[in-house]
Amino acid sequence: GCVPLTINFQSSTSNAISWNWNFGDNALFYQGPSLLHTYEDAGQYSVTLTATSVYNCTNTLTLNNMIEAYALPNASFTVNPDGVISFVDPLVYFFNTSSNSVQWNWDFGDQSSSTYENPNHLYADTGRYNIELIAISEHSCSDTTYKSIYIKPDFSLYMPNAFTPNSDLVNDDYGPVGQFEGIKEYQLYIYNRWGDLVFDSKDIYERWNGKKYNDNALSHCQDGAYVWYVNVRDFMEKEYSYQGSVVLLK
């Protein structure tokens, strides 16, 4: 069996009143007709029993290599990329560094699994995943290890350089384009050439219609260049700042 290996020893000796056991692992001698002993280290062990009768007669029996305790494997692995992984490229490679193992059972934490030695896995969603590896030896002994990874939502953000708010339903408003799933906080400011604020928003899906503060009661702002500033915070609390200009053409 696999270490730690616990064996129940029972003597079938008749006419005995004392029993001395030597379990072959340098443990102290034990007395009693029946007892449990645990082998902590791998190896082969010979067991000796000396039984004594009421007349002080003794009989000794040794069973050579009676017990074989098998070593456990050591489960371990590395991950690439490790730790925090962008959802832009959520393909993860697992490298098995286990020892004394011939079989591997992987659980990727998203109801997917593998029995390959060095698998890879493509995650379909963001979130934290607990990876489990069970390494199994040729004697079916097992060891388990865990590692956690985080697939973080990411974002891409592009600000066009012109728009035409002329109600032709083509490029009539202005704002960012891209993938916004990884954005936790957002702030947009747009200024005219004199430094006056004409639009601001904390809603990444709210777009500027070319009028001051999007007030439809007002006429469109003048044609020309406007300066914009964007501040973004992602879900890892990392901050990004961008700036540029946009041309309004009616």
Domain boundary among 123, 152, 181: 152
CATH code, 227: 2.60.40.10
Using an 8 Å Cβ cutoff, are 90 and 123 in contact? yes
Residues 108 and 166 in one domain: no
pTM equals 0.70
Residues 143 and 220 in one domain: no
Helix (H, G, I), strand (E, B) or coil at 44: strand
Residues 172 and 210 in one domain: yes
For residue 67, give every residue at least 6 positions away whose Cβ sits within 8 Å of its Cβ, in sequence order, or none: 5, 7, 23, 24, 39, 44, 45, 47
Cα→Cα distances 219→38, 50, 250, Å:
89, 108, 11
Residues 176 and 120 in one domain: no
Residues 174 and 212 in one domain: yes
Report the pLDDT value the prediction gives residue 152, as an integer from 0 to 100. 87
Amino acid of residue 99: S
Residues 239 and 160 in one domain: yes
Residues 126 and 165 in one domain: no
Domain boundary among 35, 52, 69: 69
- DSSP E strands in 2-160: the ranges are 5-10, 18-22, 30-31, 34-39, 43-52, 58-69, 77-80, 84-86, 91-96, 103-107, 113-114, 120-122, 127-136, 142-152, 156-158
User: How many domains, in total, are found in the chain?
Assistant: 3
Using an 8 Å Cβ cutoff, are 113 and 107 in contact? yes
Report the pLDDT value the prediction gives residue 135, as an integer from 0 to 100. 98
> pLDDT tens digits for 86-140?
888 899 999 999 999 999 999 999 999 999 999 999 999 989 999 999 999 999 9
Which structural domain range is residue 32 located in?
Answer: 5-69
Query: What token pair was written down for 211?
Result: 């009028």
Low pLDDT (below 70) residues in the chain? none
Residues 138 and 172 in one domain: no
